[in-house]
Structure 1
């Protein structure tokens, strides 16, 4: 009886210990997904205003088309004054290079993140987000758990922000990179000859016409 009682108590104790271990493990099981080396954002204009897709624009300089983005420009030529249709875009970003550690998550910041990002999963204190690109009006696109979020640059220490928007967020994030986020933005255009090709978009001053959505288009 003594041995049976000892064995019974041992089994109960072991089950309790395992249950506690599983509970602790479960509480600490969450681990962030690591960011990719390259994260592509397709068919999206970075600025949070009207999309120029399907619009027509002209260029004031000679530009060389590539058949695919990030390829040598040997596919076609756009002469100054040629009209082209904006078809789509691809933004090559490098999130692993631009981490931000979230040191605090104040209620007003969380509220604004919820408003800007809808029902998406939002980061918490102690998490990392990874900046993708500046999108205007003090906002950045950021990678978090395989999502693209809008986040304010204001309050991120170590990140130069030219526009703060008057929100006055406290120091909520630490930017752990040295340089500002860099990316490669390519646009696909269709020429008058119905030929589609890619251009690396660098500066809207290279285009002419009516200003809209960080590029000029005419109709």
Structure 2
């Protein structure tokens, strides 16, 4: 009888060991599958670059710099054109720039890498966010935002004329990204706070070579 109990215990331990091994292997497989699934996943429809002023110049945020619109411009309670209008700023009336959020829409702007560039390897897929000036684009790759050369991406043209002597290092396989939207969080001279859409440089008064001044 004791021998039978020992055999049962032995078989039970062996079964538990095999079950534990299978369970461990299953977990490893699931983990590997999840990791594999996370590679080259698509970005969200809207990707927000918070507290950012993308461009080929020094970051002007959190420096109490001022801007003055050329035309009346509305300040909204939220980053939404349908939200409450806090105030309409008149031409020449300064507002103080506090911070900015850069909204991009890269989900359908896939690009395949042909030659190694900016840490990307042939066969990799990244997504264009926008052209930011200075010959560079913002790009999304595996949950990371990169700066990549604007020239040399077949199917795009961020200049009036694409230089023919630039070798193609990537190819657009999706669509060109929609225009980004830059929302500025500002303060008025009468201490009202809210969001405005930047528009373009031509919408703002120039101070020398800049639209920002102390």
Larger relative contact order, structure 1 or 2 (CA cutoff 8 Å, min sep 6): 1
**Structure 2, unpaired ranges of 5+:** 1-24
Post-superposition CA distance 1:102-156 (Å, at most 9, x none):
1222xxxx3xx2xxxxxxxx32211111011111022100011111110012111
1:26-65 correspondence to structure 2 within 5 Å: 29=36, 31-53=39-61, 54-65=64-75
Contact 1:59 1:80 in 2 (8 A): yes
Is the contact made by 2:108 and 2:177 (CA closer than 8 Å) also made in structure 1?
no
Partner of 1:197: 194
Question: Mind listing any 5+ residue stretches in structure 1 that lack a counterpart?
Answer: 1-17, 114-121
Residue 140 of structure 1 is matched in structure 2 by: 137
Distance 1:97 1:170 in 2: 24
Cα distance, 1:164 vs. partner? 9.2
Say how many residue pairs are matched: 180
CA distance in 1, matches of 2:148, 2:178: 14
For normalisation by structure 2, the TM-score amounts to 0.74
Separation in 2, partners of 1:123, 1:181: 23
CA contact (8 A) 2:128 2:177 kept: no
Taking the TM superposition and a 5 Å limit, the aligned residue runs for 1:56-205 are 56-72=66-82, 74-105=85-116, 110=117, 113=118, 122-162=119-159, 169-205=166-202
Match in the other structure for 1:218? 213
Return the offset for 1:74. 1.9
| TM-score of the superposed pair, with normalisation by structure 1 | 0.72
Question: What is the deviation of 1:204?
Answer: 1.3
Q: Write the distance in 2 (CA, Å) between the matches of 1:44 and 1:162.
A: 24
Alpha-carbon separation, structure 2, partners of 1:139 and 1:165: 14
Q: Is the 2:129–2:177 contact (alpha carbons within 8 Å) kept by the matching residues of 1?
A: no
In 2, Cα distance between the equivalents of 1:29 and 1:50? 38
Quickly say closer, same or farther: Cα 1:52–1:93, change in 2 above 3 A: same
Superposed CA offset, 1:160-187 (max 9, x none): 1318998x55221111234454221111
The reply on whether 1:209 has 2:199 as its aligned counterpart is no
**Equivalent residue of 1:205, what SS?**
helix
Alpha carbons 1:159, 1:180 under 8 Å: kept: no
SS of the residue aligned with 2:71? Answer: coil
